[in-house]
Amino acid sequence: MPELPEVEVVRAGLSPAVDGARVEAVEVLDARSVARHDGDPADFEAALVGRTLVLPERRGKFLWIPVAEGDEGAPRRALLAHLGMSGQMLLREPGAPADRHTRIRLVLDQPQHGSVEVRFADQRLFGGLAVRPLVDGVPDQASHIAIDPVDARFDAAAVARRLRRRRQGVKAALLDQTLVSGIGNIYADEALWRSRLHYATPAERLTQARALALLGDVRDVLDLALAEGGTSFDAQYVNVNGQAGYFAHSLNAYGRGGQPCPRCGTTMVREPWANRSSHRCPRCQRRPRGLA
């Protein structure tokens, strides 16, 4: 599933095409992709046609495009995008060849760039688009999501204190989007490798300094991934132009089971964890004492 860097790359790519653009037409090709919208496809289309979109925003893995109000007041609704497992937001010129698995098509008129199409493609149909009300500037379906580590408002010291109150393993805590958002399996494994922490280490055992160092490693990993366009393992993870990110070539832990640890040379292991997998170095990231 796309994590913060992949979603941020999409947000940045959409920005110049949608900011200030008027929605000229909307076509829902698969009703399943508007299941999160309170209404049928016709209602979804009516909620957008003739409206003006403003600068896209993101929190964690959530991406949305506020819809301007006619009275020029603060937006009260937004086009919320759930990318799910395979969702893509693609920018195309009008009349461009069809993209596979396109579920929704928006035709926009942007004052500086002219006519452009935004196509939502989704092979596995776990994602979708919806027009949702904004609550304090955030779509209602994302209001429970915590601020992410690359946000200027992120308070690392406060999050570290909250992290240390958790009795669960540190990886499970990092994946809790109500504590810190935007981190998924890939970047959790990478940050834990940098911090030399086993994924099952109880978060409550961390000192404040160790917790802050871990959050610093999370931020560093996310920043590196952003600089390289996110992580792509197949054609499903692409930016708005259909191009893959290449941070996968810089991974130190995730997906490296059976390969030497980049730090010490010990063979990395892949272990079952919470219906997923965790990747670690047995030497650098030893299992904590007292844990089975």
Q: What's the whole-number average pLDDT of the chain?
A: 91
Ranges 26-30, 94-98, 235-239, most confident = 26-30
Find the Cα–Cα–Cα–Cα dihedral 51, 52, 55, 57, rounded to 10°.
-10
HSE toward the beta carbon, residue 145, CA cutoff 13 A: 23
**What pLDDT is attached to residue 273?**
95
Residue 147 binned pLDDT confidence (cut-offs 50, 70, 90): very high
Q: Give first-to-last CA distance, the chain, whole Å.
A: 30
Q: Is 276 a catalytic residue?
A: yes
Which amino acid belongs to residue 256?
A: R
**What pLDDT is attached to residue 246?**
42
What's the CATH number where 21 sits? 3.20.190.10
Q: Is 3 a catalytic residue?
A: yes
The answer to whether residues 130 and 174 belong to one domain is: no
Distances (CA, A) of 213 to 45, 86, 286: 47, 32, 18
User: H or E segment at 173?
Assistant: helix 170-174
| SS (HEC) of 19-64 | CCCEEEEEEECCHHHHCCCCCCHHHHHHHHCCCEECCCEEECCEEE
**What pLDDT is attached to residue 240?**
60
The reply to whether 73 falls in a domain is: yes
* Active-site entry in 32, 76, 165, 276: 276
The answer to whether residues 26 and 102 belong to one domain is: yes
The reply to whether 291 falls in a domain is: no
pLDDT > 90 fraction of the chain, expressed in percent and rounded: 76
The reply to whether 30 falls in a domain is: yes
* Active-site entry in 61, 77, 103, 210: 61
Max Cα-Cα span within the chain: 63
The answer to whether residues 18 and 131 belong to one domain is: yes
The answer to whether residues 21 and 80 belong to one domain is: yes
Q: Render pLDDT for 63-112 as a digit per residue (tens, 0 to 9).
A: 999 999 876 678 999 999 998 888 899 999 988 999 999 999 999 999 99
**What pLDDT is attached to residue 233?**
38
Where among 108, 142, 176 does a domain terminate? 142
Where among 113, 142, 171 does a domain terminate? 142
In the block, which residue shows the tokens 């776990």?
A: 126
What's the CATH number where 238 sits? 1.10.8.50
Where among 142, 169, 184 does a domain terminate? 142
**Given the DSSP bridges, would you call strands 57-59 and 62-67 parallel, antiparallel or unpaired?**
antiparallel
Q: If you average pLDDT over residues 33-37, what whole number do you get?
A: 97
The reply to whether 67 falls in a domain is: yes
Q: Is 171 a catalytic residue?
A: no
The reply to whether 44 falls in a domain is: yes
Q: Render pLDDT for 186-233 as a digit per residue (tens, 0 to 9).
A: 999 999 999 999 999 999 999 999 999 999 999 999 998 888 765 543
CB atoms within 10 A of CB 34: 24
Q: If you average pLDDT over residues 44-53, what whole number do you get?
A: 97
Distance CA 264, CA 242 (A): 37
**What pLDDT is attached to residue 66?**
97
The answer to whether residues 178 and 97 belong to one domain is: no
Whole domain around residue 64: which residue ranges? 4-142
Contact 212, 160 (CB under 8 A): yes
Nearest to 110 by CA among 182, 19, 29, 173: 19
Q: Is 100 a known ligand-binding residue? A: no
Distance CA 59, CA 51 (A): 23
The answer to whether residues 128 and 180 belong to one domain is: no
Q: Is 61 a catalytic residue?
A: yes
Does 154 have pLDDT greater than 70?
A: yes
Q: Is 82 a known ligand-binding residue? A: no
Contact 122, 103 (CB under 8 A): yes
**What pLDDT is attached to residue 231?**
54
Contact 133, 36 (CB under 8 A): no
Q: Render pLDDT for 238-260 as a digit per residue (tens, 0 to 9).
A: 556 655 444 566 789 999 999 99
**What pLDDT is attached to residue 74?**
84
pLDDT > 70 fraction of the chain, expressed in percent and rounded: 91
* Active-site entry in 3, 6, 57, 190: 3
Q: Is 124 a known ligand-binding residue? A: yes
Count Cβ atoms within 10 A of the Cβ of residue 262 and give its class: 0-12 exposed, 13-18 middle, 19 or more buried.
middle
The answer to whether residues 67 and 128 belong to one domain is: yes
Distance CA 263, CA 256 (A): 13
Question: How many separate domains does the chain show?
Answer: 2
Does 282 have pLDDT greater than 80?
A: yes
Q: If you average pLDDT over residues 262-273, what whole number do you get?
A: 97
**What pLDDT is attached to residue 292?**
64
